[in-house]
Structure 1
Amino acid sequence: MTNTLGITSLTRVPVSGSVPALVTPMNIDGTLDIATLHAMVDWHIEEGTSALVVMGSTGESATLDSSEHCQMVREVVEHAAGRLPVIAGTGANSTREALELTRYAKDVGADAVLSVTPYYNRPTQEGLYQHYRKIAENVEIPLIVYNVPGRTGVDLADDTVLRLAEIPGIAGLKDATGDIARGTKLLHMLPNNFSVYSGDDETAAALMLLGAKGNISVTANVIPGLMRKLCDAARNGDVPLVRLISRKVYLLNQALFVQSNPIPVKWALARMGRMTGTLRLPLTPLGSEWESVLVRALALAGVELPAQ
């Protein structure tokens, strides 16, 4: 399959704007709900979403087995059918496994991959560098490195990011630290053709105003159209519109993390009537004490909920 982006040079990924980190719909019995997955892809395309990430942490990649992981990537790529780019999550705490997932993503036609830092085993900075270098040098697909120390227990240092940016095939960085000062420093130091994406909804607009290419988002699962408008405004430097939209979404950005992601976002989508909200253990349903918080946040963002 030829990828959507038509990239012949592997060095960069021309994706910008709102990029939802897609949730994984499940049936009541916990199996994958492919029909709903297809419907969600269609909805995001209708709402103007720029690209989709499949099998990130929001997609519960940690609770899916390898065959389900591959099925999710394949289904999204095939159903999107070139209508928007698809970025496959292929991170693992084993370099060998990350390589296998990355090869699979390329083979089925993903446009790029998103590779989280190896978690739990806490490699050194040199280990992180060699991990990503090994992947980039063995699979010809643009690779976005993903730094989210709050979930992985390891922080990809700025100096390591700068070293990685010199490797052909390493296309960009998803920065989920939420540290605007640090992000600003990286934006000034990295090559202009190296893409930086926010991975933190609360600070994404600020980072885009400073030069980030887009937002790989949890919130965009719920309000894709509004998040697209926010990202477009930030990318275009329209500060008054950024302020206006930010007032509508700030509470939702917070509410979607009152418990571990993706517990709240799946509850919100279920309350909206878009999916069942089923999770796999060890994730458990949203605590009832948080339901009113989510309802209020959805209302502020302009979401009309069906009657119960």
Structure 2
Amino acid sequence: MKKFHGAYVAIVTPFIDGRLDEQGLVDLIEFQIAQGTHGIVPCGTTGESATLDFNEHKRVIELTVQTVAGRVPVVAGTGANNTLEAIELTESARESGADAVLSVTPYYNKPNAEGLYQHYKAIAEAVDIPMLLYNVPGRTAINMLPETVARLAEVKNIIGIKEACGSIEQISDLIRLCPDDFIVLSGDDFTAMPTVLLGGKGVISVISNVYPKGMAELMEAALAGDLAKANALHYRMYPLMKALFCAPNPVPAKAGAELLGKIRSGLPRLPLAPLDAGGIEKLRSAMAGLGLI
């Protein structure tokens, strides 16, 4: 499996009494690696990066790198809507030994295409580490178009993108316009298989938090061109993919990890609320359907 190809888990950040549960994170990483996950992505949206303070953010990345110990790549989430803060987090991730960083489009500011280009160019020029862009318009209120991504693909250190636009048309344009060696990863479990079949290289996955083996097998099949197997796996996991978005991410993913017994508490930080009884039942049913619980 080539670096940054396959199923990368957007790993949740476990808390106990509102504080970082370091042993819980270590245990979760070991579970991921044992189940065949191709890479670990700490401090993304699913890792509740928006509610981690700077010291916690840096510690999660540091601990992840130390625990992984080179067994799989670590792509550290280091995005911010303040370019200087994004540079600081990116430099810290590089010093911690991360293999690459994932940098989300600046949220709330709503920069235009030129602002996006200059933001990412500034980070890439300031810190010498491979960077994956991250486009998630449903979270950030801005959609980075393929033309801007293609322009950024020419910047040193910018090697790929996590594309969570949910549009097969946009993903097709992205792959068409960018260089052949530019890595396109799906940012949604639902579009992981079609993205690979269009020429993408994998997924940064939420479902991998509770079913890492399944998503790893799906990506391996799709990348090998085994459409029948990939298709069967996609539809087998589809109910769980839906259940994991019955409430704002990562609330169901954390609840699922707790149901598995992989973390002691699945409670998110405010302003995210815990999963309600109906959501728990949907999640439990989907996980039971896969034999996970």
Q: What band does the TM-score fall into relative to the shorter chain?
A: over 0.9
Q: Cα RMSD between the aligned structures?
A: 1.0
Q: How many angstroms apart in 1 are the aligned matches of 2:166 and 2:14?
A: 27
1:1-308 alignment runs, 5 A limit: 14-27=3-16, 29-275=17-263, 276-303=265-292, 305=293
Deviations 1:121-180 (A, max 9, x none): 111110000000000111100010000000001111111001000111101011001111
Aligned AA (2:280): E
Distance in 1 (alpha carbons) for counterparts of 2:156 and 2:290:
41
Code of the residue aligned with 1:46 in structure 2: it is A
* TM-score (normalizing by structure 1): 0.93
C-alpha distance in 2 between matches for 1:184 and 1:157: 12
* Structure 1 residue 14, shift from structure 2 partner: 3.0
DSSP 3-state at the match of 1:215: strand
TM-score of the superposed pair, with normalisation by structure 2: 0.97
AA aligned opposite 2:24: T
State the distance in 2 between where 1:125 and 1:243 align.
36
Quick check: 49-58 or 271-280, which moved more?
A: 271-280
Aligned letter for 1:80?
V
Contact 2:251 2:267 in 1 (8 A): no
Q: List, as ranges, runs of 4+ consecutive aligned residues in structure 1 with deviation greater than 4 Å.
A: none
Q: Which residue type is aligned with residue 89 of structure 1? A: G
Residue segments in structure 2 that go unaligned for 5+ positions in a row: none
Secondary structure of 2:189's aligned partner:
coil
Partner Cα distance (1:200, 1:193) in 2: 21
Retained in 2: the 8 A contact 1:249–1:300? no
Q: Which amino acid aligns with 1:184?
A: S
The aligned amino acid for 2:207 is: T
Distance (Å, rounded) in 2 between the aligned partners of 1:290 and 1:97: 35
Tell me what 1:9 maps to.
none
Between the aligned partners of 1:211 and 1:43, the Cα distance in structure 2 is: 29
The gaps in structure 1 that reach 5 residues or longer are 1-12
SS state of the match for residue 294, structure 1? helix
Secondary structure class of the residue paired with 1:216: strand
2:102 and 2:197 map into 1 onto residues whose CA distance is 23
Write out per-residue CA displacement over residues 181-206 of structure 1, whole angstroms, 9 at most, x where no aligned residue: 21112112210111000001111111
Is residue 147–residue 177 contact of structure 2 (8 Å, CA) maintained in 1? no
Code of the residue aligned with 2:153 in structure 1: it is A
8 Å CA contact 2:3, 2:73 repeated in 1: no
How far apart, CA to CA, are the structure 2 residues paired with 1:295 and 1:38? 24
- What SS does the aligned partner of 2:150 have? helix
How far did residue 302 of structure 1 move?
2.6
- Give SS of 2:20's match: coil
Aligned-residue offset at 1:45: 1.0
Instruction: Provide the residue aligned with 1:10 in structure 2.
Output: none
Cα distance in 2 for residues equivalent to 1:295 and 1:183: 32
Letter in 2 for 1:280: R
Question: Aligned partner of 1:302: which letter?
Answer: G
